[in-house]
Structure 1
Amino acid sequence: MNITRIEFVKNCIFISVFVFFDQLSKYFIVQHVEIGSEYLSFFGDFFKIIHVRNTGILFSMGSNIGSSLKSLFFLIIPIIILVFVFYFSLNEKNRMAKISLLLILSGGIGNIIDRLLRPLGVVDFLDVKFFGIFGLQRWPTFNFADSYVVVGITLFIIYDLFAKNKKN
């Protein structure tokens, strides 16, 4: 087995674990919480577990786009992007950059699975109070896959900033 195959297997295991956890959490919500209902609330109403469906993308953007455009923008283009991200992750030597790319992949795959298998939309269930910051009383409801993408992008930006500073 050459290094590319070893890296391929490692990447697949990493992604599989994160996608499994994402899908398991969504399965639990679908099985135990009615759409539009609250399941648990922590610290008053600071953090809630609720069940909503998102037919758009991040923060429900694009939920009112026609179905043929939705297929293009929410399935085909993301799949193409994820193929490129996976390819780059195989060749990435920096550990932080690799983990960030794999988190982005895990989140993207988790939400694509929902788009393919759940006709009512992506399952979102994490709801956090936002105290009026940016005019939002509550942050848009999200799921673990969304978190993976945001953390992955954040880590990659941090890595990129430090990599550029090292070069200068």
Structure 2
Amino acid sequence: MKILFVSLIIIIIDQISKLFIKGFSIPFLGIAYKGMYIGEKIPVIGNFFRITFIENPGMAFGFNPGINLKLWLSLFSLVASIGLIWYLYKIRNQRFALRFSIAMILGGAIGNSIDRIFYGVFYHYAPMFYGKVVDFLDFDFFHFSLFGKEFYRWPIFNVADASVSIGVILLLIFYRQPQNSPKPDEKEKSSDENMSNNMNIEPNKPTELDKDVLTSKDKRKGENKLQHGDSDHGEVIPD
């Protein structure tokens, strides 16, 4: 399924951006990149858009499910990603827009799942499945409240979060749209074929009704010949 390349590109961009924010090292190549420290802010477009490094231990918008539910959240993300791959295979012949939106959601889901499952082990701060998600995109859109919590800036997110959100929006737009209807010529051709199949009539072949009509006409012609004294042996001579 070529559409999975969309998910792969999103995963690569997401993980590379997170590694440059958090930092990484490759000892056998002698590479060590420090990255940013937690809470550090780098203005990009004034105060409207900043790169702000935080680690999200739980779900979106900073909601923390607690240590007891952390494992289940990581496992759910993994199972959901597998389910999306299966669904993409199931709809492999559907419209591109529908498959593209699912591929975007899948890429974002896998991107954040990598953080939750492996980052704790990679960065030596937690066992597998207990890692934290790296967030850094910080926008000052508007002030709002959600579930009783006040947000004076848009919650900090990452590339994977953006991919999931865009994918969901596209899915809502394209999922209910009907398939392209066949062209008029195709409809007429299909209708003619169905009618021919249902009646089991070959083209240009006389039907049983036509045969009966022809036979009746032949009989009437024969009767007319006899009435006028015609026969197959010539004219009849009166006595």
Q: d(CA) in 1 for partners of 2:16 and 2:82?
A: 24
8 Å Cα contact 2:142/2:154 also seen in 1 = no
Could you say which residue in structure 2 is the equivalent of 1:117? 118
Q: Deviations over 1:61-88 (max 9, x none)?
A: 2x15133x2111x211222222221111
Separation in structure 1 between the aligned mates of residue 49 and residue 14 of structure 2, nearest angstrom: 18
Separation (CA, whole Å) in 1 of partners of 2:40 and 2:7: 30
Compute the displacement of 1:133 (Å): 4.0
Mapped contact 2:3–2:100 kept (Cα < 8 A): no
For residue 118 of structure 1, give the secondary structure of its aligned residue in structure 2: helix
Q: Which amino acid aligns with 1:114?
A: D
Matches of 1:145 and 1:110, distance apart in 2 = 6
TM-score, reference length from structure 1: 0.83
Q: Is residue 36–residue 53 contact of structure 2 (8 Å, CA) maintained in 1?
A: yes
The structural deviation recorded for 1:36 is: 0.9
The answer for the alignment partner of 2:208 in structure 1 is none
1:162 matched to 2:177? The reply is yes
Residue 16 of structure 2 aligns to a residue whose secondary structure is helix
3-state SS of 1:151 partner: helix
Q: CA deviation at 1:14?
A: 2.3
- 1:88 maps to what in 2? 87
Compute the RMSD of aligned alpha carbons: 1.9
> Could you tell me which of 146, 153, 162 is aligned with 1:147?
162
Residue segments in structure 2 that go unaligned for 5+ positions in a row? 24-34, 121-130, 182-239
Question: Matched residues in 2 for 1:43 and 1:12: separation?
Answer: 33
Q: Is the 8 A contact 1:11 1:90 kept in 2?
A: no
The answer as to whether partners of 1:130 and 1:136 remain within 8 angstroms in 2 is no
Is 1:23 equivalent to 2:15 in the alignment? yes
2:127: which partner in 1? Answer: none
Flag the structure with higher helix content: 1
Deviation, 1:104, is 0.5
Query: In the alignment, what sits opposite 1:3?
Result: none
Q: Which has the larger radius of gyration?
A: 2
TM-score normalized by structure 2? Answer: 0.60
Equivalent runs, 1:1-168 vs 2, <5 Å? 7=1, 10-31=2-23, 32-38=35-41, 40-61=42-63, 63-67=64-68, 69-72=69-72, 74-92=73-91, 93-119=94-120, 121-134=132-145, 136-163=151-178
Q: 2:203 matched to which residue of 1?
A: none
Corresponding residue for residue 217 of structure 2: none
The 1-side partners of 2:138 and 2:5 are apart by 29
Answer yes or no: is the 8 Å Cα contact 1:59–1:141 preserved in 2. Answer: yes
CA displacement at 1:161 relative to structure 2: 4.0
Work out the CA distance in 1 between the residues paired with 2:3 and 2:98: 13
Paired-residue identity, %: 31
Q: Separation in 2 of the partners of 1:70 and 1:163?
A: 40
After alignment, is 135-144 or 94-103 more displaced? 135-144
Residues 144-165 of structure 1: CA deviation (Å, up to 9, x unaligned) = 000000000010001124349x
The answer as to whether partners of 1:23 and 1:110 remain within 8 angstroms in 2 is yes
Deviating above 4 A after TM superposition, structure 1's stretches of 4 or more consecutive aligned residues are: none
Specify every segment of 5 or more residues in structure 1 that has no aligned partner in the other structure, as ranges. Answer: 1-6
